[in-house]
Amino acid sequence: MTSRAREALERVLVLSQQLLAAADQSNLQELADLDAERMRLLQSIRLERDNLSADHRLVLKQVSELNDRAIGLMEHHRRSKERDLDMAAVGRRAVAAYSTTRLQR
């Protein structure tokens, strides 16, 4: 693996750690920017995948694990927002039901 590819792989790991932090904060714009940069770097080293050492494969495994954790965090945030929206809808329906009952009195 060339030194340029090694540096790119190290940068991919750093970006993956930053991506996880952005996912934890639900910072979607930062998440998209980091992912785009990371993807560009991964594509740049794709041709050297046959020359990866065990250490480099370990770094890629760490990147994959960080990615899985980031996806899990985003899924958690999505489900939380869905629950909030469901509860708001229940509240709106209750207010609407109460309002019509009150008007009939």
Tens of pLDDT, residues 83-102: 989 899 888 888 888 877 66
pLDDT exceeds cutoff 60 at 103: no
Query: What is the pTM (predicted TM-score) of this model?
Result: 0.76
Q: Any idea what the CATH number is for the domain that residue 30 is in?
A: 1.20.58
In angstroms, the CA 66 to CA 49 distance is 20
**pLDDT band at 104, cuts 50/70/90?**
low
- Per the structure, the complete domain to which residue 26 belongs is given by 3-104
Residue 34: burial class (beta carbons within 10 Å; 0-12, 13-18, 19+): buried
Tally of domains within the chain: 1
